[in-house]
């Protein structure tokens, strides 16, 4: 199956270098196996939980889910 590379058009006020970095990161993630992706996913979830705990302890309100 041939994959077509999508052309990214940066939005207003978005640094093109950051868009390129994000695309490189996405390409690197595609090369990982499922166990490595599960590890990264767990780390992201843990970071979110820690951030939420920190917000609660400082009295900040959490953003409402969409």
26: closest CA among 5, 42, 46, 47? 5
Which residue has better confidence, 12 or 19? 19
Find the mean pLDDT for residues 49-63.
83
DSSP 8-state symbol, 32: S
Q: What is the mean pLDDT of the chain?
A: 84
pTM exceeds 0.85, yes or no: no
What pLDDT score was predicted for residue 1? 47
Token reading at 24:
């490189």
Find the mean pLDDT for residues 41-45.
96
Classify residue 28 by burial, with Cβ atoms within 10 Å: 0-12, 13-18, 19+: exposed
What pLDDT score was predicted for residue 47? 96
């Amino acid at each position: 199956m041939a994959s077509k590379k999508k052309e990214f058009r940066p939005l207003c006020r978005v640094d093109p270098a950051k868009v390129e970095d994000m695309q490189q990161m996405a390409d690197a993630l595609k090369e990982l196996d499922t166990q490595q992706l599960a590890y990264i996913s767990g780390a992201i979830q843990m970071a979110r939980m820690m951030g939420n705990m920190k917000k609660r302890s400082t009295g900040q309100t959490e953003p409402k889910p969409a």
